[in-house]
Amino acid sequence: DTAVSQTPKYLVTQMGNDKSIKCEQNLGHDTMYWYKQDSKKFLKIMFSYNNKELIINETVPNRFSPKSPDKAHLNLHINSLELGDSAVYFCASSQDQGWEAYNEQFFGPGTRLTVL
Amino acid sequence: AQSVAQPEDQVNVAEGNPLTVKCTYSVSGNPYLFWYVQYPNRGLQFLLKYITGDNLVKGSYGFEAEFNKSQTSFHLKKPSALVSDSALYFCAVRDWSDSGGYQKVTFGIGTKLQVIP
């Protein structure tokens, strides 16, 4: 009965590879997010989707492409992985009203990506 | 553009003593403020939020925060710290994006709380 789940938990890969991270929430929320947390624990929003529509795209390189097949799922595909992509990626969800963002977010356990 | 500042990288407090984790903010409109906690190797967990109303907000695990509009602060407090409170604490603020097209939540850099037995 996990609220926000992510797979895989750990991902170790070589530079130049393409990888995907999956996220699912069973809270019935309308909005989902991807965050990147670097080695200094700084948390930065990457993308946000509301009802499968892209709301936020925070100047993330084109190599990162989110996909939301339905409002319970938000996947992140990364092409041509670089060393600087190594980080922990968190998925989150909230019950927000499209452009409004006043409800708390529920975070997944994170995916630790290591690019060698 | 919004910003949120957590001036202390780390706060150390003895078990049983009161704790305060500081946060100040800068937003263009009405502030919506949040506190989250992150335990090692875990995702963030919501503690409490201020949207409107009472300046003193009570949250999970005995935490509370005081909204102070004149000082633009939203400090997190707990009357008696537990060793299990040791974690990374994030203050966050909601505001409009620089382009004004959407709202987003910006997180502070985090404050590590160490409760000493």
B72 exposure class (CB count in 10 Å sphere: 0-12, 13-18, 19+): middle
Does A56 sit within 8 Å of B43, measured CB to CB? no
Per-residue confidence band for B2, with pLDDT thresholds at 50, 70 and 90: low
SS (H, E, C) A6-41: EECCEEEECCCCCEEEEEEECCCCCEEEEEEECCCC
Per-residue confidence band for A99, with pLDDT thresholds at 50, 70 and 90: low
Residue of B nearest to A104 (CA): B46
In this predicted model, what pLDDT tens digit does every residue of A82-98 receive, in sequence order? 999 999 999 999 987 65
- The number of beta carbons lying within 10 Å of the beta carbon of residue B51 is 14
User: How far apart are alpha carbons B29 and A109 in whole angstroms?
Assistant: 32
User: How far apart are alpha carbons A71 and A78 in whole angstroms?
Assistant: 20
User: How far apart are alpha carbons B56 and B48 in whole angstroms?
Assistant: 11
The average confidence (pLDDT) of chain A is 91
Q: Check if the beta carbon of residue B17 is closer than 8 Å to that of residue B81.
A: yes
| pLDDT in the model for residue B1 | 57
In this predicted model, what pLDDT tens digit does every residue of B77-115 receive, in sequence order? 999 999 999 999 999 998 776 666 777 888 999 999 999
Measured between beta carbons, the chain A residues lying within 8 angstroms of B90 are 43
Q: Does A95 touch chain B (CB under 8 A)?
A: no
User: How far apart are alpha carbons A96 and A80 in whole angstroms?
Assistant: 33
CA triple B45-B46-B47, angle to 5 deg: 115
Q: Does B53 touch chain A (CB under 8 A)?
A: no
| pLDDT in the model for residue B29 | 76
- Grouping H, G, I as helix, E, B as strand and the rest as coil, residue B1 is coil
